[in-house]
Structure 1
Amino acid sequence: MHHPVLANVIVDLFIKGGPIMWPIAVVTLFAICVFIERVFWWLRFASKRSPKQLEEVYEKLEAGDLAKAIEQSAKSSDPVVRMINHGLNHRHTSMQGALEVAAGQELRDAGRFLSAMDTIVTLAPLLGLLGTVTGIMGSFTSIGSSELAVEKVTGGIGEALIATAAGLGIAIGTLVPMNYFHSRLAALKFDLEAAANNVLILAAQHGFDKVGAKTTN
């Protein structure tokens, strides 16, 4: 029952905000799409994580059973375990390099669109400021005309305030999830680095990183 009223208010504010509201609307739509995509990506990512599988791979490596470690890690959908599998399969060339490449791929996927969100946080207030300038300019133009129209003056000021509020609202609404996604990315980076270091230590203990290393007990 209240939805049509709310929609009318939004449309009214959009119109009163002036022409700058169109690029602001485009930025808003893009921000919403990016937010939804990232939320679903991290939900899928969380469902793939498996600390149990990671511990099982560690146990096989610690026991010196490289073949089992490769077999178990190959069946996992956990990004950290996938990185380990990539490193174990390329141990004869450069295990450390292979781990870094695999970790980089996981971090690249996890950090997707973060730069776009950062751009939105910067761009939205600037668009609002542009709307402020154009609105105030409209008010001064009305004041300088032969017919002083109070409605035009207040309309220009209203346009300036609406555009500024819209720009700041988008920036604030994007900044909070962006910082959250950055924190999740930092946590993933720590997990990948810790796992890579553990694998390199275990590999060095059993000589798995050397050419001709055995793959079975």
Structure 2
Amino acid sequence: MLVANVVLKTLQHGGWIMWPVVATLFLALCVLLERTYWWISLKRSIRPDAQEQAREALGTGNFSAAWQLGQQMQDPFLHNLNEGISHAHTSMLAAMHLHATKWIERSEARMWILGTIITLAPLLGLLGTVVGLMGSFSKLGDDALQVSAITGGIGEALIATSWGLAIAIGCLLPYNFFRKRVSAFRAAFETWINHAELLVQSAKAHGHDLEAFAVERHLKR
């Protein structure tokens, strides 16, 4: 209760600009929680053991086994492989790249909001400070006004800037962390797709035709 009262008084002293500043804080927290949940869910869905089994099956020409793994798991990489297998009679690589692009777009979802808040929050705080300073300096000509009141007004005016900077700094670290995760996710997809292509070519060299398997599956639909 005491903390809530302190925060409320701080908001009141910071002026009207504190409300949009607090709105950016609330929005940033929502995005951070949503992105954290998304990445945790993604990590839980990835099955390295099943991926290894799928690669072995693909390399030995056991395309049916590789396909079944993708059907049974929620792993995005296995789904990506199934997408490629389904379109092997047209373009396996194109299908896998398109599927990977959709996942990359999901991993980048709402990141632009954090990027905007990192820039916007300090600017809103600075605007509040400028408005507050203008109000304090406009009273300098009043002889009846004590100096302590003016300096107190300046201190209150700086509240908005301090909040804006704190929000920006608080968002910057997770923003860079998530951007790093997106880059690693993109690189993992590239490695996965290239490895799958090599395994398919190896299987083809040993007489296993993925295109024929894809056509067969297409006809069974």
Please, what TM-score do these two structures have when normalized by structure 2? Answer: 0.89
Check whether the contact 2:63–2:213 (CA below 8 A) recurs between aligned residues: no
Residue in 1 that maps onto 2:77: 80
1:56 pairs with one of 49, 53, 68: 53
Q: Distance in 2 between matches of 1:85 and 1:63?
A: 16
Give the match for residue 185 of structure 1: 182
Q: Which moved more, 1:149-158 or 1:119-128?
A: 149-158
Task: Render the CA deviation track for 1:16-75: whole Å, top value 9, x for unaligned.
Answer: 111110100110100011111111111111110100010010010111111221122222
Aligned 1:130-149 pairs, distance under 5 A: 130-145=127-142, 147-149=144-146
Tell me if the contact between 2:85 and 2:210 (Cα under 8 Å) persists in the aligned partners: no
Match of 2:212 in 1: 212
- In 2: Cα distance, 1:52 partner to 1:215 partner: 28
CA distance in 2, matches of 1:204, 1:62: 8
Equivalence for 2:7 = 10
Q: Does residue 1:129 correspond to 2:126, yes or no? A: yes
Select the residue among 42, 55, 58 that pairs with 2:39.
42
SS in 2 for 1:129: helix
- Seq. identity, %: 38
State the 1:187 CA deviation: 1.4
Which position in structure 1 is the counterpart of 2:219?
Answer: none
The equivalent residue for 2:104 is 107
Give ranges in structure 1 of 5+ residues lacking alignment: none
Work out the CA distance in 2 between the residues paired with 1:190 and 1:153: 56
Q: Deviations over 1:78-116 (max 9, x none)?
A: 111111111111111111111111111111111111111
Runs of 4+ residues over 6 Å off in structure 1: none
State the alpha-carbon separation in 2 of the partners of residues 212 and 10 from structure 1: 67
Q: Look up the equivalent residue of 2:123 and give its one-letter code.
A: L
Letter in 2 for 1:118: G
Conserved? CA contact 2:58–2:66, under 8 Å: yes
Could you tell me which runs of 5 or more consecutive residues in structure 2 were left unpaired when the two chains were aligned.
217-221
Structure 2: which amino acid aligns with 1:183?
K
What letter corresponds to residue 96 of structure 1 in structure 2?
L
Answer whether contact 2:31 2:110 (CA < 8 A) is retained.
yes
Match of 1:168 in 2: 165
- Amino acid of the residue matched to residue 83 of structure 2? H
One-letter amino acid of the structure 1 residue matched with residue 75 of structure 2: D
AA matched with 2:24:
V
Structure 1-normalised TM-score? 0.91
Letter in 2 for 1:22: W
Whole-Å separation in 1 of the counterparts to 2:35 and 2:119: 19
CA contact (8 A) 1:111 1:185 kept: yes
Task: Quote the residue 2:65 is aligned against.
Answer: 68
